[in-house]
Structure 1
Amino acid sequence: MDYRYPIGQFTHEGEVTLAQRQQWIQDIADLPERAREAVEGLDEEQLSLPYRDGGWMLKQVIHHMADSHMNSVIRFKLALTEDTPAIRPYFEERWAELSDSKDLEIEFSLQLLDALHRRWVALLSSFSNDDYAKKFYSPSSNKTMRLDHCLGLYAWHGKHHVAQITSLRDRLGI
């Protein structure tokens, strides 16, 4: 198994159906609880374990999800209110090395994920088909991305990081 991608990488071909969007919105809604369950009962020493050799500590993974999903919500809002805006990339690996990602209690990011995802789901649930077709441009990948595809990517992103945590717990029996 590739511990970097315990559930594989995100893929989706073709049109995004209404049923697929609804499932992805549910995945977004479920993430805060899944993240909390993934780290339940872990002590500070265990939260400081990397999910793989050379990987982030479990606490960094939790803080990263909050950072990444905050950026994603902003990108969605930019695409809704501007005509194919260019988004601002960020260096997630550098953010993960900041003191709030390495030292802060994970409860703050778990609470943030809960509140952020409630707002995000409310926003996503209000979209029309035309809204899901809106796009933004990513200079870091040199690609224009539709919001319906990004919805799938972030639904996967949350499950991906939760699986990094749970796969380490399974391997270590913790």
Structure 2
Amino acid sequence: MSAGAGPADGWEFRRVTIDDPLVEQLLRELTHEYVTRYGPEAHQEMTRYPAGDFAEPHGVLLLLLEDGEPVAGGAYKRYDDRTAEVKRMWTHSAHRRRGLARRVLAELERTAAAAGYTRFHLTTGPRQPEARNLYLAAGYTPLFDVSADPLTIGPLPFEKHLPVLTTTS
């Protein structure tokens, strides 16, 4: 848990596996969002990666719980030895515009840095302007021409260098 998010104040970050019942709503809403924006073929995105990709030690799936209920979440998986790839960012439709995705992203960054990753990579779809804006606001470097029409680019890649955490003995 990060500072300011703990069970005492009703907020908790929880590491879960893809088959945890608390993840069901995330997967259902995210699948609906993808299919609504990109059509039926987008359904395949949710089964594209094996569940183990989001498991420790190389990956993590986090949920942000408010009073025990999942309100936001996200994951990362190994991209290469030093890079983790952000996937499955989600905010419950009833809880958007509260800064929850930003909190999840910051916790994913902290968790990945603690696991030894030094870079985050991600792509978001061209029909997800709110995701694009989140990553820009969170200090991610766009690896595409931000002045171009996103629909002419396809997936929008970003990167962010994470702080190197040193351990003290």
Which bin holds the TM-score, normalised by the shorter protein? under 0.3
- Structure number having the greater helix percentage: 1
What is the TM-score with the length of structure 2 in the denominator?
A: 0.26
What is the TM-score with the length of structure 1 in the denominator?
A: 0.25
